[in-house]
Every structure is written in structure tokens, then in C-alpha cells.
Amino acid sequence: MFGGKSMRFLRDWVLPIIIGLLVAFLVKTYLFQVVKVDGSSMQPNLQDSERVIVWKPAEIKRMSVIVFDAHGEDPAATQSVDYVKRVIGIPGDTISYNDGKLYVNDKQVPQKFIDEEQRTSGTGNWTLESIANKYGWGKSPKKVPKDSYFVLGDHRSVSNDSRYWGFVKKSKVMGVVKVPFWSNNAKAKKNINDLATD
């Protein structure tokens, strides 16, 4: 039988620890998680080794920056690995790129969040159909499929993204990236936190 001291120990120490661990698990699973950016594909807006918040309940919109598990999406990802990219197309969108200009549903999308060199270097001219045929990742898609997203890195010339391996399934997405309040980079906060559109 438990004595009075044992009961107090359980009440004062063990129970709070268990509750704390449970709360931390629930927050990490359903609300938010802090992750570290790995690589330069989201420069100039996110830097290598920068820590950001992934907000899990957030709605994914065009221009949202997301974290997703690339295993099963990118053939080069032979195990679970998180990628950070910007959502360019949501289900049903048509996408094309011509002379450094991005078009979604035949409307030019301003890309003021990156400079001219990043908009043009290594981008070329393409449609969903042409890059799918070129890189062999799809059956000549005209639109982004249901429950999928088309993503690009902001640093277009170095980013390994949907151009090369196709769409990201909704089930693979961890959540939407937010630059935290403690960051001193006001421009990055605007270009990551505030650009999402319907």
C-alpha cells in the first residue's frame, strides 16, 4: 500500500511531469513545432539554420510557406526529411513560367519577395505539362491535382522542388511556416508571414 509520503510524491512530482509531457505532446502534434531551416533554397527570406515556427492548424493558401515530408515525393529523399518551400499552386490551378514571370490561372503573380536574378536564373520557360514530361514525374498534367500542391523554393536557381519531382500531397504537409516574433528581419516576416492569398 502507498503511504502518505508516497501519495504526496506522486501528487507533487510524478503527476505534474506526466501532465506536462502530455501537454507538450499535444502541442507538438496539433498546434505548433519549432524547426530549423536546412539549406539555401528559401533565401533571401529564410536562412540556413534559421529557426521558424510551423503552425499546424493554419490553412494552406497560395504563397504560404510550408514544411512537408519529402520522402515519397522527391525520389532523392530516401528517408523521412523535411523540406521548406513556398506553395505556388493549390488544387485546380494551372501554372506556367515565362521569361522570369510566374502565371497562375493565366494571371501574372508579382514576385516582389525575390529579386530579378532569383526570378530568372535557372527558371526557363515551362508549364506543368512540359516539366512533367521533361523530368518524367507525371502524365502531362494541366492542373494541380486534388489534395496536392505545387511548390517552389524562393531561391529558384538552387531549389530542388516541384519542377523536378512533381506535386506535394496534402497528407505530407506538417504545417505553415511563420517567422517568429523574436526575429529581427522585418522583411522576412512580411515575405513569409503575410503573403498568403486565397
Task: Return the active site residues.
Answer: 41, 85
What's phi and psi for 165, nearest 5 deg? -130, 0
Question: What are the CB-based long-range contacts (under 8 Å, 24+) for 115-122?
Answer: 115/44, 117/157, 118/44, 118/154, 118/155, 118/156, 118/157, 119/156, 121/156, 121/157, 122/156, 122/157, 122/158
Instruction: With H, G, I as helix, E, B as strand and everything else as coil, classify residue 149.
Output: strand
